Amino acid sequence: MKPKTAVAGILAVVVALATLSTAQSARAQDWFKTGTGLGVSKARLAVPDDAARTTAAQPLAKTFHDVLWADLEYSGIIDMVSPSFYPLSVPSQPSELNGQAWAAAPANAYMVAYGNLTADASGLAFAGYLSDVHNPSAPPALQKIYRASATDADARKLAHEFADDIVALLSGGQPGIAQTQITYVSARNGNKEIWVMDYDGANQHQVTHLRSISLTPRWSPDATRIAFTCYVPYRGITSAQICIYSMPLGRLTAFPRFRGTNSSPAWSPDGSQIAFMSSENGDPEIYVANTDGSHMHRITFAAGVNTSPTWNPKTGQQMVFVSDRGGVPVLYLSNSDGSNVQKLDLPDMGYVIDPAWSPNGQLLAFSWQRPSGNYDIYVMDIVTKQLVELTRDEGRNERPSWAPDGRHLTFESTRTGTRQIWTMLADGSEPRQLTFEGQSESPNWSPK
């Protein structure tokens, strides 16, 4: 009896162990190992022409490909393979992809983005694919059908969507910026009004029609509203006030008027508060209020002008602003409740204005007029106080604003003779002019 039980017990243990080990191996997962230490490599991507399946799609295919190419090239993370290196046969769907030909010299591509366009009465459809050429048997990294109406504007939109999907895949989930917008001030129609355009300068359109002066537009964190400085007469008195424009409503939303001059609004990262300069109590100081104007309270207490607040978008716990309390306008860092103010020391004299905090909270862009020159854009590492000069000897370059990917900046520059909006990569390379008409200034990149 007893030995039998013992044997049964052992058996049970063995069975249990076997079950356990099976469970263990079933739980075991796929893994991979990678690392860093020698910098970040760019993905080498080939983007052949996209096949137009119908004749109506042919003119749109050209627009589509041009926009897609420009988006990917400017993304900052992709190394584009020159079209002259492409194999002769271009795929329009995964079954036609000859991975060997693309992987081999001279193309040496790592991935290929391709697809086909169909335009008919129902609209425009783009079947887009992104394939790893070293692994043609694996399913494409991206296969998606994009639909819109068959217009040139929508072909652009589809290209931006496809580009953003590719950038997100190749950068490990960080969204691209091809569908972002830039708001700015332009006086090309007579008055300084708020305008909005796509990040590549397309689709420029006027947003406000206040027929006065509108300045310093700032996108809300959800990119649905724009806060700006407006000069709207009220009971015969015109003074600088904070206005908020709602994009979905297409009109201004309520924000109370305050005494004195009110300007340079900035949104808190959660979108619930606005910091701005107000001379309500005489001295221009920084105040914080809810987006409906309630609970307004003062956070700076220093003689002189305190203006241009900007929140740390990552934490919302800190703020940088401009103050001339020490004689000339320079940047100060404080907690968002105004405590613990410290001057951001720079290795030279001069005016320092227009602070803009990068999306990861790590870098601060600003414009600085050193005694030896003109206003130029600089970027400072908040922790180490290391400086990089991004523009030099090309007119006045001011008012930087970060793209949500933290890889691009928009700014205003007078390098062509007139004040216009430009963008560049955050290392100062690849400057691109977006506006050409009249004078444009004070750009702000939408956070999404």
Partner 1 sequence: MTVGITSSVPAIPLPHPEVETPSRVVDNTDGLFKSEPMPLPKPDLEAVPIPKFEKEKKKPPKITSRPSKLLENPTPPPPNAVPYGNGGRPTVPVSASTFTMGNTGATSAGLIAGGAGQGDFGSRFSWYVEAVQRRVSSNWIQSAIDPNVGYAPRVTVTFTILRNGSVTNVQITQSSNVPSVDTSAVRAVEASSPLQPLPPAYSGSNVNVEFYFDYHR
Residues near partner 1 (CB under 8 A): 21, 24-41, 43, 77, 110-111, 132, 134-135, 138-139, 141, 168-174, 360, 362, 381, 383-384, 386
Q: Say if residue 13 is exposed, middle or buried (CB neighbours under 10 Å; 0-12, 13-18, 19+).
A: exposed
Instruction: Work out how close the CB of 247 gets to partner 1 at its nearest, in angstroms, rounded to a whole number.
Output: 27
Rounded Cα gap, residues 353 and 364, in angstroms: 11
Closest separation in Å from C-beta 342 to partner 1: 18
Q: Any alpha helices (H) in 226-288, and if so which ranges?
A: none
Q: Give whichever of 98 and 261 is closer to partner 1, judged by the CB atom.
A: 98
* Dist CA 270 CA 276 (whole Å): 16
CB-nearer residue toward partner 1: 57 or 166:
166
Nearest to partner 1 of 98, 143 (CB atom): 143
Q: Read out DSSP for 127-164?
A: EEEEEETT-TTSPPSEEEEEEE-SSHHHHHHHHHHHHH
| Contacts (Cβ under 8 Å, ≥6 apart) of 432 | 74, 200, 201, 422, 423, 424
* Closest CB to partner 1 among residues 400, 406: 406
* Identity of the residue, 24 or 372, whose beta carbon is nearer to partner 1 in the bound complex: 24
Nearer to partner 1, 166 or 275 (CB): 166
Q: Compute the least distance from the CB of residue 269 to partner 1, in Å.
A: 15
Please give the Cα distance from 242 to 214 (Å, whole number).
10
Work out the burial of residue 89: count CB atoms within 10 Å of its CB; fewer than 13 is exposed, 13-18 middle, 19 or more buried: exposed
State how far the Cα of 406 lies from the Cα of 357, in Å rounded to an integer.
Answer: 10
CB of 180 to partner 1, least distance (A): 18
Residue whose CB is less far from partner 1, 109 or 266: 109
Do residues 109 and 72 lie in contact, with contact meaning Cβ atoms separated by under 8 Å? no
> Cβ of residue 168: shortest distance to partner 1, in angstroms?
6
CB 204 within 8 A of CB 195: yes
DSSP state of 95: G
Q: Tell me how far, at minimum, the Cβ of 111 lies from partner 1, in Å.
A: 6
| Nearer Cβ to partner 1 (25/429) | 25
In the complex, least distance from residue 35 CB atom to partner 1, rounded to whole angstroms: 3
Residue type, 360: N
Residue 39: CB minimum distance to partner 1, A: 7
